A and B are shown apart, each in its own frame.
Chain A
Amino acid sequence: MPSTRDWINNPLGVVEGMFAASQSDPNSGWEAKAVEFFKDHLKEKDAPTSVPSLNDVPLHYLKPNSLVKFRCLIQDMFDPEFYMGVYETVDPATKAKVLRCGKYKDVTECGVDFNSRNTVTAERQTFYCVPIPGENPWVKESYAGSSQARVVPSTSYAPTRQKRSYEEDDEMDDMDTQPQKQREPHPGPQSPTEQHGNGDCKRQETEAPSSQTASTSHLDLNFPLPGEKGPSCLVKVYENWDNFKLNDTLEVYGILSVSPALSALADEKDASSSIMDPTESMETAEEQRVHCPPASLVPRLHMLHARPVSHNNPLLPSATLEDNSAFLSSTLSEMASVRAELLTYFTHILLGDALAAEYLILHLISNVYSRRDVLPLGKFTLNLSGCPTASYTERLYQIIQQLVPSSYYLGMSLQNMNQMRLVPKKDYVANRLASGVLQLARHTSLFLDEIQLEQGQLDTTGVRNVTALGNLITWQKVDYDFNYHQMEFPCNINVLIVSEGRSLLPSDCQIHLQSQVTPANMEEYLSSIHMHTQTSSQLNKFRIYLSVARLLDYNISDEMTKSVEDDFVDMRKDDPQSVSAEDLHRMLVVARLLSLSLGQTSLSRDSWLRAKHIDMLRRSRMEQHKCVNGNEP
């Protein structure tokens, strides 16, 4: 155990030890070794959980220069920077020269000899990372609960060490006794408001979209979604930064650096040097603020290792499913039964409509698994039309929120559409990518509430926003606005549209809700939905089910291919107008999702027939609806 503590508490000591050892042998490749060392340690059982996480431990409880982890999304990529990889310091008293390593550090030691011949300039890349947008409270709680990292109120972190703020000292006392308890209230009061007041809170946002930027002090942390909280972080990457892409979700293990010198340097520059050197002031104040924010607000994290987050579900083992066959087989055996339960649950929620419930399951496990040139495969955007009231859709969202790791509710009110920034836009003054709502991690559920839409005029922004949503649904890509040009970023977002009639946005599949509840009892029924909450073990089962189903592999055997082809030809023979290539596309997706939802990794005859059957049911319902309404095109 002491050794574990050591590499977590003082990783820089480890790195420096290796650096010193390597001095005799220049080709030792100590850098790779150091990274290897940490990777090996992290592979140990329980090791990842014993590393404190920036996500659930407030920054001021964390020891500077210790190993921490951060679950995040790469929101922006800054320019690469050159730093002193190796430098020499001169002791002013003794004139003794010492070689030092500048890797994984922001600030050098005293007395740098700039003219030394031994200085090695190296390159590193900075990413601006934010917590995964739209991460639901249950995920946060669960991660925090499973963390074994006792935030050690170490003696080295004495208030004397750094003069930061006074109120911290008070908190320190509490923390000494029970740090975990202390931070419990943080997510506590937060989550009920999320649950109950969700609609309200959204409405407030729509009324004053700018208020949140103002409220988060002078520093805009640039979260994609309004009203988000949590730390953002400047992650310094030392190797293979080309492998990371914008909007990747990562779990970064790195050395935390909150040196107040960073902020001090920035302040000082503002004050004095603008007179001394006009070149310094050419970086605008905004740019300064974005690229060198105070370390107490935006800590620096020097990356040692990063693990791509493939599902962000704390209930699943973090390793890939293949590596965890025991878990996989146990879940697979249960899939069918969990599915049945979930179907009942959804049927109940969707006013007794089993078909819609079926489609909702399929939608929730859909995933863009591949792209053929421009065509994304596997996406399944669902348009749930015929939703009764606004309060109903909000309840529906709350239920989905309970089930998926991350989600976002976007009320498509006219005001929202005309005022919100959906598409990220490059801000050239501050030299950063100003985020927008559509900058979301993969597998995020985007809930579009079209019931909020009223009559009125969309202005330029509104039209652009609606186009962006349309592009997102059809091509699963977002064109980021770089002012002089646009750049396309692929995404993988599950879009669910709820509307009264047919949605104005395109969708892969539209289903009209058929309520089994009489309008008279609606109010009562709706309130009972809310009361009828599931036990947490039940919910956990659903959560695991949805995440696993999405991650499964899938294939079609040759015989099935043949029979599907035959089927298609037959269908076309009867009535060529009824089935088009597009329908086949959709049916193949439905069949795929249906098989996966049952835990089958290859298409069976039954699943295909069933897929055909439910698609037929859905279409006949649409025809009916068309007849009833008459005004549908």
Chain B
Amino acid sequence: MSSPTSTPGGCKRGRNTNPATPSSEGPTSPPSQRRRGQDSSTGDLMPMPTSPATDILSPAAPQDTSLFSSPRPSVQPNEVDMSSPLMYGTPSSRVEGTPRSGVRGTPARQRPDLGSVRKAPQVDLHSEPPSTDGAVASESNAGQRLVIWGTDVNVATCKEKFQRFLQRFIDPTSNEDENAGLDLNEPLYMQKLEEVVYLSVLNSAVVILLYIFCKIFFPQEVIPTFDMAVNELFFERFPDSILEFQIQVRPYNALKTRNMRSLNPEDIDQLITISGMVIRTSQLIPEMQEAFFQCQVCAYSTRVEVDRGRIAEPAVCRHCNTTHSLALVHNRSVFSDKQMVKIQESPEDMPAGQTPHTTIVYAHNDLVDKVQPGDRINITGIYRAVPMRVSPIQSNVKSVYKTHIDAIHFRKTDEKRLHGVDDDADQKLFTEDRVQTLKELAAKPDVYERLSSALAPSIYEHEDIKKGILLQLFGGSRKDFTQTGRGNFRAEVNILLCGDPGTSKSQLLQYVFNLVPRGQYTSGKGSSAVGLTAYVMKDPETRQLVLQTGALVLSDNGICCIDEFDKMSDSTRSVLHEVMEQQTLSIAKAGIICQLNARTAVLAAANPIESQWNPKKTTIENIQLPHTLLSRFDLIFLMLDPQDEAYDRRLAHHLVSLYYQSEEQMEEEFLDMAVLRDYIAYARTYINPRLSEEASQALIEAYVDMRKIGSGRGMVSAYPRQLESLIRLAEAHAKVRFSEKVETIDVEEAKRLHREALKQSATDPRTGFVDIAILTTGMSATARKRKEEAAQALKKLIQAKGKTPAMKYHQLLDDLRGQSETAITKELFDEALRALADEDYLTVTGKTVRLLA
């Protein structure tokens, strides 16, 4: 622990030779930083900056090593009781002479988040047991030798380096949105400071957020040093400005975000970042920082600071020497805000079969009320363990510590959902090894087959359906055309499974739901439109109206599995129209009008209307779903019982082996679910394939071919929507291969799969040809053709009858039947009549048909 263990972040920037000190290393590469109050959505996690920071600080680096060689103090810092010059604000406001803020009236603030209640220990190397005042006094003259107690971190060096960093750091990877209006080639933090001057009036607290990559040892001591450095720098630069409060440094993203479960006693008093979900927030607690006492006798007043959570009431008035005459005056004491926030492990981080852990977090000052129950957040803070207080009465104590985190910074991870476009916010981090295994897997030629067979191994065959679902899991590339006004293009692949009951559709859905991190499973029978979208309810505790999101919104960036799709009521289904093409959800209720992102892929399962699939009918007729909705599915698969002996045999073999093979055998055969999950997550995050020239050519050809097939027989067999589907599928297939380019093979597979799905669902049962019109218009082209023929025949018949203004309905039908060689059903006759009525040739009133004109 003593040696400044350099971290991956540091290594990448080539700093492992000079493992850095907290002072210099911490701030080396903050790619993003912004001021609170301006935009609370705080910084994004950004890719590691490449290296300029190294150059700035490397001259100082050799020195750094020596700074940090002393062992970490095994003693708790709070044992030394003295007010230190590092106390936030002390040098600048209380001690005259150092930065000019004090004179100018920028009030000092304690930083309760850093536990300034317990004095940060510092030792002047030259004055042996340092007295309280001694340390403060020595600051100005012996500053060089001042080190943090128990270490040899030199305060002055630390400060100096941080200032130099602030002055020179240029963020090479800065993201335009975040640092809007800033010159990227100028030192970033200096610009931020300038901004402070202009905007300071508006903000109650000025906070500089610092993106850190490296471990800060002794955060409690080093961060105040940073604060001090920033303020000194600020007032040096802008000597005339007055700030309402001083600038605070808030480091965030302490190295790696960790799981709550991995916290252990070694993390005590360290800066950590953990992720979790807020489950409860307490009311605001005013915490006394400074007590104001007034003598009842002579009205002499005195202030006492909080020391380790207690206030020592002065027994004697210093002015008039009366004992016990001092009374606390509450409204002149200084309080700071404090709030207890309880967070719980996010469900994704948890091992199966265990309950989630919770941790208490204390939020201070402006962080109070920043989070609400239900928020997913990343917290940076200092982990604390406090022993149970020894009570004067009790001789023995509970040997348990209370632990909590003093929050320094909150970052909401799910906030983006309400805002516009962003890349995948879930930054799942993979270890090098894992990435290596995944890449090896991707390099295998049969990776596509492997993955698809690993999908729901307990479900037999249906290879193409599994492949389709696999592509759905990967999804296409997200394209943004907002600039040209077309909005986003859907990247998600929607799939509908329909077929006989008992063909393990539900099981497939259940499997997918278990596989993806953001999956939702609903049943069409039990869900309402409200349950799918969002509803407004009154929070029982706060009595505020809150928007509760439904399944579709919850599965944003995931998959929404809807079982019994056919049982869904029409009104419920209608909300899917918007979601399945525009990928948004518009809500206007109870005064809340908003558009939520619902970039979800829909995997639906439907049973045929007659419980058994009727092969003589079309898909539409079998499932009775509106074709407007059907055409939004990229792939529609039929899961039918093929009723063929070879299939039966393989099915039987599969099932029997399911029952007698041991777990190990199964695992050998198939990929682990965890590997599959990681593979998909990796591909979704890092792979973003684009169409290559040949691939686009192949796609065009494929589309033209599809149109041609139909046009030969006077029907259109493909629409632009099908072309889009093809593109998405091809992209997804490229993702499976971890390829950044969509190549011809991807298009081939997309075509094949699309054709397979079409063959199954869009085959006209009367002709046996694939006919996309079934899906897009709900009527096959042959049926339409027949209708037209019947209409023509009818017209001829009527014309042949000469000028009879009115005819009997039944008679006309009989006549037509007698004349036509094909069977004319009553429905067909009705349709023919309607067609003629549309032509304004005749009208039908009750049982009589009148000619017009």
Contact = CB atoms under 8 A, between A and B. Distances in A.
A122 B401 contact: no
A315 interface: no
A580 B359 CA distance: 51
Given A370-B663, A374-B510, A561-B653, A83 B400 contact: yes
B351 interface: yes
A581 B460 contact: yes
A76 B355 CA distance: 7
A219 B75 CA distance: 40
A84 interface: yes
17 contacts: A79-B358, A79-B359, A82-B265, A82-B403, A83-B401, A84-B387, A121-B385, A121-B401, A279-B309, A282-B282, A426-B355, A564-B652, A565-B653, A569-B649, A581-B503, A581-B504, A584-B655
A225 interface: no
Given A373-B511, A561-B660, A576-B643, A242 B265 contact: no
Nearest to B356: A482
Interface string A405-428: 000000000000000000000101
Nearest to A125: B357
A301 to B, nearest CB: 16
A84 B502 contact: no
A278 B356 contact: no
A111 B390 CA distance: 9
Contacts of A487: 347, 350, 356
A580 B357 contact: no
A569 B395 contact: no
Given A115-B76, A245-B352, A482-B356, 6 more contacts: A107-B399, A265-B388, A429-B280, A556-B656, A581-B502, A584-B651
A538 interface: no
Contact of A572 (B351, B395, B648): B648
A291 to B, nearest CB: 11
B395 A475 contact: no
B281 to A, nearest CB: 11
Contacts of B658: 372, 377
Contacts of B514: 373-374, 488
B356 to A, nearest CB: 7
A592 interface: yes
Contacts of B510: 374, 475
A368 to B, nearest CB: 13
A599 interface: no
B457 A372 contact: yes
B652 A568 contact: yes
Contacts of A375: 458, 507
B73 to A, nearest CB: 9
Interface string A364-383: 00000010111101000000
A121 B399 contact: no
A77 B340 contact: no
A161 to B, nearest CB: 15
B263 to A, nearest CB: 8
Interface string B52-74: 00000000000000000000001
Nearest to A587: B655
A447 interface: no
Contacts of A429: 280
A108 B396 contact: yes
Contacts of A107: 396-399
B426 interface: no
A585 interface: yes
A580 B391 CA distance: 72
Nearest to B357: A79
A569 B354 contact: no
Nearest to B353: A245
A5 B389 CA distance: 37
List the 3 shortest-distance A-B pairs measured between CB atoms, nearest first.
Answer: A245-B353, A372-B458, A556-B660
Given A490-B353, A581-B655, A584-B652, A431 B394 contact: no
B285 to A, nearest CB: 5
Contacts, number: 187
Given A490-B353, A580-B641, A265 B398 contact: yes
Given A377-B658, A582-B502, A584-B655, A109 B460 contact: no
A475 to B, nearest CB: 7
Nearest to B455: A373
Interface residues of B, number: 77
Given A81-B400, A108-B397, A373-B673, A484 B264 contact: no
B400 A82 contact: yes
A565 B649 contact: yes
Interface residues of A, number: 79
Nearest to A603: B660
Contacts of B458: 372-375
Interface string A425-441: 01011010100000000
B204 interface: no
A181 interface: no
A326 interface: no
Contact of B390 (A87, A112, A569, A584): A112
Contacts of A564: 652, 656
Interface string A584-605: 1100110010000000000000
Contacts of B354: 77, 242, 245-246
Contact of B75 (A84, A117, A573): A117
A262 interface: yes
Nearest to B260: A79
Contacts of B279: 428, 483-484
Contacts of B526: 463, 467
Contact of A81 (B285, B391, B401, B511): B401
Nearest to A272: B391
A102 B374 CA distance: 38
B277 interface: yes
B399 A83 contact: yes
Contacts of B398: 106-108, 261-262, 265
With most chain A CB atoms within 10 A of its CB, the pick from B74, B357, B399 is: B399
Given A76-B355, A114-B390, A569 B652 contact: yes
Contacts of A82: 265, 268, 385, 400-401, 403
B299 to A, nearest CB: 27
Contacts of B503: 581
B645 interface: yes
Contacts of A565: 649, 652-653, 656
Contacts of A463: 526
Nearest to B387: A114
Interface string B651-695: 111011111100100100000010000000000000000000000
A273 B394 CA distance: 14
B478 to A, nearest CB: 26
A92 to B, nearest CB: 10
A123 B656 contact: no
B748 interface: no
B504 A122 contact: no
Nearest to B388: A265
A576 B641 contact: yes
Contact of A569 (B75, B352, B648): B648
Contacts of A108: 396-399
A109 B398 CA distance: 9
B698 interface: no
A475 B509 CA distance: 13
A555 interface: yes
A374 B347 contact: no
A188 to B, nearest CB: 37
A485 B399 CA distance: 35
Given A569-B652, A576-B641, A246 B347 contact: no
A422 B77 CA distance: 49
B621 interface: no
Nearest to B376: A484
A58 interface: no
Given A79-B357, A484-B277, A581-B651, A121 B268 contact: yes
Nearest to A378: B659
Interface string B329-363: 00000000010101000010011111111111010
